[in-house]
Amino acid sequence: MFKVTTHSGVQTAGAIITTLGSTPVEAFDHQNFSPFYQPIVELTTGRIAGYEALARRRETDGTFVSAGAVFSDARLPREHKLHLDRYLRDSALRRAASPGEQDPGGDGFITLNISPDWVDMLNEDHHIPTLNMVKKSGIDPSRVIVEITEHCGNIENLKKLTSIYHGAGLKVAIDDFGAGASQIDRVIELKPDFIKLDMGLFKSAARGGHAADIVLSIVAMAQRAGCKIICEGVETEEELYFAIECGADFIQGWLFDPALPAPIKSDTYMDRLNRLKAIYLTAKSGRLMLAAEHNKAVANTLMTVCQSLSVDDPLASIVDRLPIEMAAELGVLQLFLCDEQGNQISDNVCYQEHGLGFDSGSLGKNWSHRPYFPLLHAMNHLQSDHIVVSTPYRDINTGKLCKTHGLFISSNCVLLIDVLADDVILFSAE
């Protein structure tokens, strides 16, 4: 089913029928519908890598609006919707297969949306309409991306269908990823080539907070699975910067253009995107420089504090040399000691506004499973005074972003210190 987008001014299905005629069949006059093409821009080249085909309906004044109300209205016969959907898909494929002069569309990809509602209507005796359209249009199948939309649809049917698409040379994308029910099973079963982040989730995450932590995590998971990332709904420069933070491979949204009546030259946005990436690079470099300076300040302090420690009670020596005022300047939350296997051998020394606190609740716990600990172990064999810094994480007790700094202070004793960290991710303004 053709994907539909809504913006202000879109009419309801009832209004469509009133405008175009009194019967549902009249509402499906193909002359009133056309595929439009929203550019999808590749971040590495700045060129338009392809287009998403979107359904549009002609108004009586000749303008085009989203055809979403037609496909979502339950009063309209399914067979008419299906016929219109296939007509639009076929039109988009034929247009993509025959780009015009001066590179309109070039040899980029075209994405088509297939509703699981249609998928569940197919059985082993059915031909696959999209494959027939691809063959008739003459387009290279590798340029066609089929988007699996919504969250319904039998997973076994989808698995069979995507296997057929892949076998025919087409690519598969999961649309609206991260919205509603978990779609992890679809990544596992369907083995998509692309992931399109849910637009609402992306926009929420771009403002920071818990949504951002979730999006950054699921994107890392998708990339680990070998999926390319498309961020759609990118409307502002700040959202572009967050899309870059997400590791996006492709950008789609009104920051560049809405859906257009025809493809355009593939280098249309190159200069603008290069300028925006230069702005991002400057801002990101500034954030990372501040983080590096903070890491260096913590490291210098640790190296000073940990010189010539008492063999009998190294923790007491460290606490004596790291007063509350100094710790507060560095953002120290707590510190403790482990043996070389990661077993905690001291209390947690908690740095608080009113003074030091000592917590024995974690004595005997083993931290060797933390990602930074094996690295610390490995680096100790190369350089005994090397300080390892973890990636940022949220402290369970405070919810604040922090990092753990680790250092071998002897051959069998490790100092771990949790320190507040500023987020280096570029978020959009509220």
Per-residue pLDDT band for 253 (boundaries 50, 70, 90) equals: very high
Q: What pLDDT, in 10s, does the model give residues 143-184?
A: 999 998 756 667 888 888 899 999 999 999 999 888 765 567
Nearest to 84 by CA among 60, 58, 113, 55: 55
pLDDT score for 29: 73
Is the same domain home to 253 and 305?
no
Q: Which of 112-121, 199-208, 212-221, 300-309 has the lowest mean pLDDT?
A: 112-121
The residues, any chain, with a CB within 8 Å of residue 63's CB and separated by 6 or more, are: none
> For 246, phi and psi rounded to 5 degrees?
-75, -10
Q: What pLDDT, in 10s, does the model give residues 191-234?
A: 999 999 999 999 999 999 888 998 998 899 889 999 999 999 99
Per-residue pLDDT band for 20 (boundaries 50, 70, 90) equals: very low
Is the same domain home to 252 and 293?
no
Q: What percent of the chain has pLDDT over 70?
A: 87
Span 50-54, mean pLDDT?
Answer: 97
Domain total of the chain: 2
> For 171, phi and psi rounded to 5 degrees?
-110, 160
Span 238-262, mean pLDDT?
Answer: 97
Span 393-410, mean pLDDT?
Answer: 92
Q: What is the CATH number of the domain that holds 39?
A: 3.20.20.450
Is the same domain home to 208 and 322?
no
**Is the residue at 2 inside a domain?**
no
Q: What pLDDT, in 10s, does the model give residues 326-385?
A: 999 999 999 999 999 999 999 999 999 889 999 999 999 999 999 999 999 999 888 777
pLDDT score for 115: 72
pLDDT score for 340: 95
Per-residue pLDDT band for 19 (boundaries 50, 70, 90) equals: very low
**Is the residue at 339 inside a domain?**
yes
Cross-strand bridge partners of residue 302: none
CB-neighbour burial class of residue 277 (10 A; exposed 0-12, middle 13-18, buried 19+) = middle
Per-residue pLDDT band for 9 (boundaries 50, 70, 90) equals: very low
pLDDT score for 117: 67
pLDDT score for 151: 64
**Is the residue at 312 inside a domain?**
yes
Is the same domain home to 174 and 289?
no
3-state SS string for 172-217:
EEEEEECCCCCCHHHHHHHCCCEEEECHHHHHHHCCCCHHHHHHHH
**Is the residue at 429 inside a domain?**
no
Is the same domain home to 112 and 260?
yes
Q: How far apart are the first and last CA of the chain?
A: 35
> For 348, phi and psi rounded to 5 degrees?
-80, 125
Is the same domain home to 410 and 378?
yes
Q: What is the rounded CA–CA span in Å between residue 397 and residue 418?
A: 12
Q: What pLDDT, in 10s, does the model give residues 64-108?
A: 999 988 888 888 888 888 889 999 999 999 999 987 655 666 789
pLDDT score for 158: 86
CB-neighbour burial class of residue 122 (10 A; exposed 0-12, middle 13-18, buried 19+) = middle
**Is the residue at 427 inside a domain?**
no
Q: What is the rounded CA–CA span in Å between residue 328 and residue 260?
A: 55
Judged against a pLDDT cut of 80, whether residue 121 lies above it is answered with no
CB-neighbour burial class of residue 270 (10 A; exposed 0-12, middle 13-18, buried 19+) = middle
Q: Which of 64-68, 140-144, 414-418 has the lowest mean pLDDT?
A: 64-68
**Is the residue at 191 inside a domain?**
yes
The residue among 268, 301, 329 that closes a domain is 268
The residue among 268, 296, 314 that closes a domain is 268
Q: What is the CATH number of the domain that holds 399?
A: 3.30.450.20
Give residue 110's Cα distance to chain centre.
21
Question: Could you tell me the residue range of the domain that residue 324 belongs to?
Answer: 283-420
Judged against a pLDDT cut of 50, whether residue 6 lies above it is answered with no
**Is the residue at 164 inside a domain?**
yes
Q: What is the largest CA-CA distance in the chain?
A: 92
Q: What is the rounded CA–CA span in Å between residue 241 and residue 428?
A: 8
Is the same domain home to 321 and 387?
yes
**Is the residue at 97 inside a domain?**
yes
